[in-house]
Structure 1
């Protein structure tokens, strides 16, 4: 070629690239620019030093049959702006391992070597991202100044971009945004998972709450219906697969929710049918999928194509789908169940970069992109071992000797390339190096180049080194961004609602809550706040307790007098009926069912013994008792697990417990008043179908299902005294809260506080209790 050909920015680490550079160097008008070449190194010392930043360029020179002395200086001037002393320092820091002992012969580095160099050792990645964002923002105070973060850590890059949002700064990230994380890309993935998973609650909510979903309605109306669907239908145990099951679960009075589900089912008809086939071509699946996406993204005013395929991310998603359509004909049929995973795999590495809108003077660069970029301020972030340099690990398929035999580069070559990137970036006019001491709670190791720099500087000039490695004021300034001017500890909540707003009816189980945590009563019965069930809930201890209770209740209701001959078989059959809907969960079959079988055997054996003195059994008996309050009547309600009418004329009240029952001390102290208050109701004849009789026994039947399978314990030796004390205690409690100045405090007595409360976060317990030294 007659025109000049210049190759710049490459070190020839790839053999094919090295051949091309050698060819260009040999042309009459050819030139190869080698960035940051250290001509003072002995080539022989680098032959086995693949982690050295100069190794790749010296291999290239050997291929070209040139020595470092043959390389000319760039005649365009020192465009980087770093002083020569800085380059000399970094060359010394990066000396091959065999010549590190020569450090002792070096004199103290010139102060100019560290002019414009700063090092910030941050406690964690949050602080590191905050400090970097603050440095970038500070750079904008100088007119025309440019700044860039250079890091291979994508998590750190995203954190910094997020931190800059506090100043409404959109920064250009050279890596772009993953296609899967853009609105159209995520909508593509989520709609595929929705149909593949047969409209399970989590998938349905993820799609329904997506900003692109509208279902042919006004978007705000659609989202309102989705929120109603979440509360009324989707929360709680996982329903059966398919939209038909969800339609059946929707309350009859919520026809709007049923209509919503029917609309989604109609829009997904073709895609659902395609996903139900055993095999299908990728092209057919994509066509039905896109049809569903566009229909679901349509609103009352816009066709779904407009919001889906417009903008940079929409165009990128459309291009991705077009590429899939082009190759779909040559691919074999796929199983529809693998379709979502296929999309995820094919989206890996697909990035979307905004065409405009980012800040013109700030950037986030990867190591590769930073090689040919220049900025006045360069921040080197994530300088930890395993990040920069990377952890090359080990190849399970090919060992290092095998790679060498095949002529392949060793994994350590990557470390050499990233070392060269560090060396080059260190020579920017202004440099800030950052790292996090702990990541995800685990201590980190500083980058080997940081450690080399530290050892060299402290060995040559401790005063100069101390200035660089002392704690940075930037950490203090970053912390001040979110630190309030005045920290005022809060007091425990103690609301005093008007008398007419206070509840006049509670159950016996809620009385215990009232005593231990009055604020929970305030939140539940006055503010009317209820805890939502978890989404896609797995069977938990509460579900297990209900299963056991319902099974024993059913058994007692069917056989209230004499036990049948096959009592154990009957109980197991009843248990199977109650357990059957949950036996699809492996843990229920593997753990709960065997425990129930042991409980059933113990229960039948105990019943055979105890029913000899029982006249009749009442299961799930409902009752009430009215207290006369100072501002009106207060009704106490109860549903006793079981009440036995004994032949002696007394009553035995039983409470089934799958967990640990309260101790006699707790009952006597009034903190577990359930059974004593049920005794108050029973003695007054307040239980339906049960005449007023004295209570002779208050028992807890602990249903363990282990060894032993069950235990019987008494709530107290004197049921009548317990009932009388509970009655007087509740009457006093009613009188106390009938006074407007009595507050509904949160956990007034820490030692008696409940172990769990749905309203603990609402009362901000951890915030004020830690200040009191109660906990945390």
Structure 2
């Protein structure tokens, strides 16, 4: 027995789909709990099941009730067993759906073999051609799996590839087509060997089994299929069966029965290819498939509350319908009354923000404001998951927790980041940044108290790993630890952690290793590193929803590992990231009762008092249709697959449904990541039709502007520290005197506050790195040379330099060895030749790298470590400074800004170097290692420069003996060079302001 005509209903846009449906079901049950329990309600997905359950509780005033059987028809799997005995039998007869991770790995093997074969043959494809890494193969396999599912969904025989004519397509698509033809032959055999089915194939068979069962034996109770638009053919056929059941009904979301005939005809996909872009396109396609005329679609009975909601937004729905007309009928815009000219769409406003962060802050403000009204609900609707996360972060400033219903990728959660950091660090040889990121992760403990592991990380950071990047590997880090200024406890802790990490490092270094071994070692090392002194690693790593998802993902990869051929160990990190890309963590508890973040599909059936539609830019909402790497648009059309643009029409329908709430705010960011954006086509249409929309609540904009603005902005003046005389340094080196003169604040920070700057992590080699081992190497060699210069001096200098390089720990810094060591060898040969020349001219080294000190002024001691002092043939001294950086210019020397070498001359005049007090030469040897290897720069008028430096130092000492004399930051600003303590002095906060004041007339 069946209806004379299909029973197809619609709940109008704006009425609130699930609430209206729930009220109708309760009204139909008439208070009889058994009547409600006898109903079966089919909804699109599991999220809709949860939403309907909550709507029924709201409609029933929260009283206990026996709920109807609610089934997610789009997510049919084992839940199908509850539909019907015939379906249960069909499910038992069907093979299970193949596990998704295993399917990805199996398909990636096909991709890898195909691409490797084409690489050997020199073929190119749309995907770039050539062999691919395992991670890339998984990404391509994911798209290939989507294509296979699409074939099942549309009911297209895989053998249809054979009927496509390769000559009709470009050559690279011909190569792809041959591969797809091969896949359709090999993949069914692989599935049969697995004893499994593709998920889409199994879903369709179950849905069709249900349709056949109900067609043959209609259920006795009411059956309502609600909220689905039937874009999946099998689901559409099931809806056709439900609509013809004796007590069956199909309820469409937001069907537009008021659309004019011309527009309805224009969205016929058979007549207009662009029809799929319209919000009602999916509905039109479903009705055509069901053989239902649109005049036969009946309105779902509305309760007074739903009728009031729909009436309140009727004008807005009409304007949205007009704005989104098909292109063929937009000429009708001029015949539509715009309503209130001041506010053509009451309750609807648009806000354009400059950046994505500003958009997130504005949305968070609007959501927070909604909580001030008792009982008011609010939701952000956006397909932009990044925007949703940013809004959630902004709300935390008010201690408001809100969860994104789409969940969070496993790779971005605490355990997911830890697992990725571990393999990335191991594959990269535990480079400093990666190693410290791993050890500072909250899950890292290494069998110790977590705080102790953090202390180890801080010690390695401050005293071991700074400077140029060391050689890769745990052994290199261990050598640096042994040479570092660390206590025995830190060394022991590092040894413990290194022992934990070593197995993974060794495995990833292998050229061929089974994925099962990689996963097992990854898990074992991760658990050992996560273990603390009080808890096993598994209990810390797999805790909470994210931990459970991580454990499940690792188990799935491990179970499917045998399907992948051995791979190079260093390919595992990228492969692991690719394999967990689909794993999502969704919180089970803790969701805010009145605030939500919904995706457009979830919002299609739900409504809040305030709906904020965020991310309304092209490419975000509507989404970019994307690119199918396996099939071109003509190939999809010829094969019978739906166009990728169909998503745009579905997004348009979601937009209209969400925009029909009582209060709606449309938001977009004018720039994202610094790049200009294009407003959503729907905003453009509204603007074109209405000439613009209200620009939102001015109060919120004012709040946004004031959100991070302090109550008062107090201009910062340069620091003027005046330590007491007893704290001021009374002994300085000649180098520190130069700093004292150029930037007194830097001297104050170093000598008074005892703050030493840290080198950057993985820094490029600096002149100071070169200078350290060059000075040490020359000093060591000259210390062992007698009056006669050896014939093999160049070789001896090179050997001494390497020992110095190793002693300084720089031999484990590849950038230093590769860049500076060849230059040092050039310098050694130059010094050998120069030394022979100087000795032949009667010059003899007197002092090499000697530290001297003299009280040059009452109460002030000057010290210096002279690189080299020679006795000239005439008995005077030549003071030489090895300069690995750029030597000072003559004007700088004349102005007294480079007093280092002249002050050493003064110490020489005081007899600090061998009792000789007459200086004949001051020279900089610019040690470059190029051509020439060393450039000699002689200071002009050395006696005058020495006298000038002596007088300048006397004035400096006298000035800073005054307790009121401040240690100013950059009294002579030199923007051409940075200073180590500029951030401490907060130079950028006051320097520009002072400069602008000086420039003012």
Q: TM-score, normalised by structure 1?
A: 0.89
* Structure 2 residue aligned with 1:739: 962
Q: Supply the distance in 1 between the matched residues of 2:556 and 2:237 (Cα, whole angstroms).
A: 33
- 1:456 corresponds, among 682, 686, 689, to 689
Residue pair 1:192, 1:289 contacting (<8 A) in 2 also: yes
Partner of 1:225: 456
One of 936, 942, 949 as aligned partner of 1:712: 936
| Aligned-residue offset at 1:403 | 1.9
1:312-357 deviation digits (Å, cap 9, x = unpaired): 2222222223333433455544544333333222221212122212
Structure 2 alignment gaps of length 5 or more: 1-217
Deviation at 1:95, TM superposition (A): 1.2
Q: Does 1:70 align with 2:293?
A: no
Distance 1:220 1:709 in 2: 50
Quote the Cα distance in structure 1 between the aligned partners of 2:916 and 2:816.
41
Equivalent of 2:712, from 486, 504, 523?
486
Distance 1:563 1:121 in 2: 78
How far off is 1:572 after superposition?
A: 6.6
2:606 to 373, 380, 389: 373
Query: Counterpart in 2 of 1:681?
Result: 907
Question: 5 Å matches for 1:276-295?
Answer: 279-295=512-528
Structure 1 residues 614, 272: CA separation in 2 closer, same or farther (over 3 Å shift)? same
Structure 1 SS opposite 2:668: strand
Closer/same/farther in 2, CA of residues 53 and 587 from structure 1, 3 Å limit: farther
Shifted more, 394-403 versus 703-712: the winner is 703-712
Contact 2:867 2:881 in 1 (8 A): yes
**CA contact under 8 A between 2:470 and 2:814: conserved in structure 1?**
no
**Corresponding position: 1:772 with 2:1000:** no
Quick check: 447-456 or 77-86, which moved more?
A: 77-86
> By how many angstroms is 1:402 displaced?
2.0
Equivalent-residue separation in structure 1 for 2:872 and 2:547 (angstroms): 75
Conserved in 2, the CA contact under 8 Å of 1:627 and 1:731?
A: no
1:42 alignment partner, SS class: helix
- The structure-2 alpha-carbon separation of the partners of 1:763 and 1:58, relative to structure 1 and needing over 3 Å to count, comes to same
The CA deviation at 1:161 is 0.5
Matching residue within 229, 233, 241 for 1:11: 229
Query: 2:867 aligned with 1:641, yes or no?
Result: yes
Q: For the structure 1 residues 607 and 450, does the alpha-carbon distance in structure 2 shift closer, same or farther, using more than 3 Å as the test?
A: farther
Q: Which stretch has the larger CA shift, 256-265 or 38-47?
A: 38-47
Identify the range of structure 1 (189-198 vs 501-510) with the bigger mean alpha-carbon deviation: 189-198
Kindly indicate whether residue 273 of structure 2 is the aligned counterpart of residue 48 of structure 1: yes
1:182 aligns with 2:413: yes
Partner in structure 2 of residue 762 of structure 1: 984
Q: 2:575 aligns with which of 322, 339, 342?
A: 342
Match of 2:284 among 54, 58, 66: 58
Q: Is the CA contact (8 Å cut-off) linking 2:381 and 2:613 kept in structure 1?
A: yes
**Aligned in 2, Cα 1:361/1:22: closer, same or farther, shift over 3 Å?**
same
1:391 and 2:617 are equivalent in the alignment: no
Residues 316-331 of structure 1 aligned to structure 2 (within 5 Å): 316-329=549-562, 331=564
Q: Distance in 2 between matches of 1:575 and 1:268?
A: 34
Partner-residue secondary structure (3-state), 1:437: strand
Aligned to 2:361: 130
2:471·2:814 contact (CA, 8 Å) conserved in 1?
Answer: no
> How far apart in 1 are the matches of 2:799 and 2:772?
17
Q: Structure 1 residues 273, 648: CA separation in 2 closer, same or farther (over 3 Å shift)?
A: closer
Partner of 2:351: 120
Contact persistence 1:649–1:693 (CA under 8 A): no
Matching of residue 404 in structure 1 with residue 645 in structure 2: no
Given that 2:730 and 2:861 are in contact with CA atoms closer than 8 Å, whether structure 1 keeps it comes out as: yes
Following the alignment from structure 1 to structure 2, what is the Cα–Cα distance between the partners of residues 243 and 754? 39
Q: 1:368 to 1:773 in 2, by over 3 A?
A: farther
Task: Indicate the residue corresponding to 1:91 in structure 2.
Answer: 321
Matches of 1:37 and 1:316 in 2, distance apart?
Answer: 39
Secondary structure at the counterpart of residue 34 of structure 1: strand
Deviation at 1:25, TM superposition (A): 3.6
Aligned equivalent of 1:700, options 910, 916, 924: 924
* Offset at residue 437 of structure 1 (A): 1.4
Aligned position for 1:205: 436
Q: Distance in 2 between matches of 1:636 and 1:753?
A: 29
Query: Which residue is 1:504 aligned to?
Result: 730
Match for residue 249 of structure 2?
31
Q: Which residue of 2 aligns with 1:109?
A: 339
Residue 843 of structure 2 aligns to a residue in which SS?
strand
Q: Which moved more, 1:435-444 or 1:87-96?
A: 435-444
How does 1:222-301 map onto structure 2 within 5 Å? 222-248=453-479, 249-250=481-482, 251=484, 254-268=487-501, 279-301=512-534
Normalising by structure 2, what TM-score?
0.70
Aligned residues: 762
Q: Which residue of 1 aligns with 2:391?
A: 160
1:535 Cα deviation (Å)? 2.6
Taking the aligned partners of 2:805 and 2:529, their CA distance within structure 1 comes to: 38
Q: Give me the whole-angstrom Cα distance separating, in 2, the residues matched to 1:315 and 1:366.
A: 24
Give the corresponding residue for 2:595.
362
Distance change in 2, residues 1:26/1:642 (3 Å): farther
Deviates more, 1:175-184 or 1:189-198: 189-198
How far off its partner does 1:649 sit? 2.0
CA 1:149–1:680: 2 relative to 1, 3 Å: same
Q: Say what the alpha-carbon RMSD is for the aligned residues.
A: 3.3
Superimposed CA distance per residue, residues 408-441 of structure 1 (whole angstroms, 9 cap, x where no aligned partner): 2223222222222212211111100111112222
Query: Which residue matches 1:415?
Result: 648
Change (3 A) 1:611 1:395: farther
Native 8 Å contact 1:598 1:705 kept in 2 = yes
Q: What's the counterpart of residue 844 of structure 2?
A: 616
Relative to structure 1, the CA distance from residue 749 to residue 203 in structure 2 (aligned partners, 3 Å threshold; closer, same or farther) is closer
SS at match of 1:762: helix
Work out the CA distance in 2 between the residues paired with 1:358 and 1:129.
Answer: 19
Aligned CA distance change for structure 1 residues 224 and 705 (closer, same or farther; 3 Å) = closer
- State the Cα distance separating 1:498 from its structure 2 match: 1.5
Distance in 1 (alpha carbons) for counterparts of 2:505 and 2:935: 52
**Matched residues in 2 for 1:494 and 1:227: separation?**
31
- In structure 2, distance between residues paired with 1:323 and 1:654: 68
Cα 1:499–1:17 change in 2 (3 A) is same
Q: Given the alignment of the two structures, is residue 728 of structure 1 paired with residue 951 of structure 2, yes or no? A: yes
1:625 pairs, out of 843, 854, 879, with 854
C-alpha separation in 2, matches of 1:658 and 1:57: 76
Distance 1:619 1:445, change over 3 A: farther
Alpha-carbon distance between aligned partners in 2 of 1:271 and 1:579, rounded to the nearest angstrom = 30
Partners of 1:399 and 1:195 lie apart in 2 by 40
Are the structure 2 counterparts of residues 551 and 51 from structure 1 closer, same or farther at C-alpha, using a change threshold of 3 Å?
A: farther
State the 1:661 CA deviation. Answer: 2.4
Secondary structure in 1 matching 2:911: coil
